[in-house]
Amino acid sequence: MPVDDKLVSKEYEPEELERKWYDWWQDRGLFHAEVDETKEPFSIVIPPPNVTGSLHMGHALNNTLQDIVCRYKRMKGFNVMWIPGTDHAGIATQNVVERELAKKGIDRKDMTREAFLEKVWEWKSEYGGRIISQLKRLGASCDWDRERFTMDEGLSKAVRAVFVRLYKEGLIYKGKYIINWCPRCHTALSDLEVEHTTEKGKLYYVAYPFVEKDGFLVVATTRPETILGDVAIAVHPDDSNNAKYIGKKVRVPIVDRIVPVIKDQMVDPSFGTGMVKITPAHDPNDFLVGQRHDLEPIQVINADGFMNENAGRYKGMNRFDAREAIVRDIEAAGLLIKIEEYEHAVGHCYRCNTILEPYLSEQWFVRTEPLAKRAIEVVKEGKIRWIPERWVNTYYQWMENIRDWCISRQLWWGHRIPAWTCLDCNHITVSEIDPVECENCGSRAIVQDEDVLDTWFSSALWPFSTMGWPEQTPELTYFYPTSLLVTGFDIIFFWVARMIMMGLKFMDDVPFKDVYIHALVRDEKGQKMSKSKGNVIDPVDIINKYGADSLRFTLSSLTVQGRDIFLSTQKIESCRHFMNKIWNAARFALMNLGDFDESRTMEFDDSLRLHDRWIVMRVNQVTKEVTDLIEGYFFGEASKILYDFVWGELCDWYIEMSKPALKGDEGSKRKIASQKVLYYVFKKVLLLLHPFIPFITEELWHSFGFSQMSIEEEPWPGTEEMFDDTTKKSLEKNIFVLQETIRSIRNLRAEANLTPQVVVPHLMINPTDRSVLEVLAENEDIIRLMSKVGEISFESRRPGGSLVSVLPWCNVYLIVGDIIDISSEIERLRKEKEGLLLEEQKSLSKLSNESFLQKAPQEVVEKEQNRLKKARERMKRIDDNIASLERSSEEADGR
């Protein structure tokens, strides 16, 4: 077979070959799927990244894992459709465009809605494809012909259809409710979009004087500015200390409003004084209490976070300045009892980090409880599998305590709510097609709702809207439900649960069969990556420096179910070395396959030696292991097996052992046999590695000339059972004996500080197990080659001037008397033993201390026990070596 001149070059340069092969894959239509009833479908939808976004490590991990599965499934013969796309990201995109306009001195509020939306579409057209191009750099094998955008025409049609149908069934309604409000973004946020941080605040104890008699109640609050909106004081019905106040009336400080003391189960008797102020317009729990007790809410803070006309003399102050002023006035009135330091969770906007305001507002909601009921049932019935399984409990916990979903957002960018209010009769017309008149009275004086839908509303439809729903397309019939969803645990509530509810409602089936939840990518210290900490690793920078394959293999190898990933550039650099190792091993193979006729039968005959048969057996074992692990989504374990096999067994052992035969030193028959094995093993290895590192494997596949097609169009390798179980056990035992013998000789060389260039003239092997003598004798040439020794003799005597290694099956004597200074070496060993004796004493001191054994963690005790064991083993070896070095050859012979 001809050797690819390019591959013979010493350097592996990923950038050029990655661009070359990705373009080639796309030109061949490798990633595109059409309905094909002769094949089994495998479908997956990408978690749509924000159109404003750029690739971060979370995206890199998520899409690497999806890509591994998709490439593997293609090679397994499945008809794979991986749908890509982006999310319009309402708040984020509107904020980005507003900032860009502000740089030009333009305020969005001075523009018409239509003019602003035109600017957003311009921005999307220019910058919205950035993350898509970065995903291609990563090697994502998406069906780019099917790329979707949550606001494209088809998906917008699906959104309207869902809204209208839910509304007509009474599952969407409009009503006043306390919502999370961002005073900066001027929009409602769902509970899931609130980021809570524990902050140091203050707990203010305030007196509320009784109306009918002297005295007062004391109520604790963290938000004195809302006292202006108090309409009641509440006590838990079972609170024996405070129940006597129920039915009394008190005056609200500052405003002098008379309010009742009521009883309600909502009250936590352990908080503050056990009594709480009820402000229905500014607290979600208080709002529910107000509804139960028919209390009129009083709103004192407006949408900008400033006090309104109901706040009296505090009108116009921002909420935090008002807090300070009100506290001063309460204190001046003699009604401030005390102030305590208090840590509590404070909600922030997930986009701009502004402290949120519970705000009474008219919004649109989805009634989720009826939808959640079935979504819980299908998971309990096993129709959706969660990997790792523990995440199903998180899902249940949220779904069983679900609240109605606020779906309206006070933005311009997004799916505008398809509801029109009649100015004449106040009737609301909800329609998939823009109406021209009120459906109730026929008036043309109708106005569309100003709000847009929560971004997650359109994302919840993603598995079926991307396939053409509400039309009953061939893709929906063939590819739905999707096979797998790969996502992060942080959006189980935002996205996964809502997709399940919507899929069941509108497709009458689950949206996916498997949900794989991956962990977070953290820095090497386990901290979450953030720009403020300066610990962000940019995947695009990594791809530019190390190549996409190195990044992909790092992420896959660190992915262990249930564990976060601790990432560092050192780990990525280590995987880059692995790419170099594969590259150099392939160069070696190609240079030694130059005269190999690949059409020659690949049957293996008795010309194979131990190491040939062993590597053939091992590559088939690895094939089965990797296949099983990918099927179970054990990406890290599969990567480790491939890494250990390629680097250790193939490169460090087999290739080194095969060199004499490949050079022709063992005869032409042995050369051909070794070439067959090398060809066979490399073909399988490249196929196994391809889903993980597609670029370098595609390059090497063509360099070997295995076929003119893409490696991905080749079938996934099967396991060929060439040996029976007895033969396998024999191969495993014999190769272990050979490798451990060689390793022991190398260790002796290292202990004597012998450089690789020094050939030790004589090695003696004293077999203690006669059954392995034949194995070592048959492979004497391999031992000499890999241990850098000259003559090997198999004798039962113990030579002098040697270093010894004691193995279960033999004693190995490296005779170094003629090449090192014996007395200096003995002195060095004695000094080393002195240091080990000190280590032994330290360990014994700790391990004999009952306090240490009882108080230290178990792993610390075990570590100390191991340290003691290793020190003693090393001292035993030192004693053996000193005795062996001191013994002269004449003494050993009895002369």
- Residues making up the annotated binding site for ATP are 531
Per the listing, tokens 């060095």 go with: 828
Give, as one character, the DSSP assignment of residue 648.
I
Which residues are within 8 A (CB) of 519 and not within 5 positions of it... i.e. 6 or more apart?
488, 489, 559, 562, 563, 564, 565
74 by DSSP, 3-state: which?
A: helix
Which residues are within 8 A (CB) of 827 and not within 5 positions of it... i.e. 6 or more apart?
none
Closest CA to 735 of 616, 623, 620: 616
List the end-to-end C-alpha distance of the chain, in Å, as a whole number.
60
> Can you read off the two tokens belonging to residue 263?
């009883």
The angle at the Cα of 73, spanning 68 to 78, to the nearest 5 degrees, equals 155
Give, as one character, the DSSP assignment of residue 354.
P
How far is it, in rounded angstroms, from Cα 804 to Cα 764?
A: 10
> Can you read off the two tokens belonging to residue 153?
């025409």
Number of other CB atoms surrounding residue 640 within 10 Å: 16
Report the run of H or E that residue 874 belongs to, with start and end: helix 858-886
> How buried is residue 519: exposed, middle or buried, by Cβ count under 10 Å (0-12/13-18/19+)?
middle
Report the run of H or E that residue 325 belongs to, with start and end: helix 319-332
**Exposure string over 359-395, b if 16+ CB within 10 A, otherwise e:** bbbebbbbebeebbeebbeebeeeebebbbeebbebb
Paired residues of 599 in beta bridges:
none
- Report the length, in residues, of the chain: 895
Give, as one character, the DSSP assignment of residue 107.
-
Strand 148-149 to strand 85-86: parallel, antiparallel, or no bridges (unpaired)?
A: parallel
Known binding site: residues? 531
How far is it, in rounded angstroms, from Cα 150 to Cα 790?
A: 72
Q: What is the sign, positive or negative, of the torsion defined by CA atoms of 294, 300, 301, 303?
A: positive
Residue 524 near residue 530 (C-beta atoms within 8 A): no
> Can you read off the two tokens belonging to residue 271?
């908080």
In angstroms, how far apart are the furthest CA atoms of the chain?
A: 124
611 by DSSP, 3-state: which?
A: helix
Closest CA to 45 of 338, 459, 364: 459
Residue 242 near residue 316 (C-beta atoms within 8 A): no
How far is it, in rounded angstroms, from Cα 210 to Cα 259?
A: 10
Closest CA to 809 of 864, 869, 733, 879: 733
CA atoms within 13 A on the CB side of 756: 2
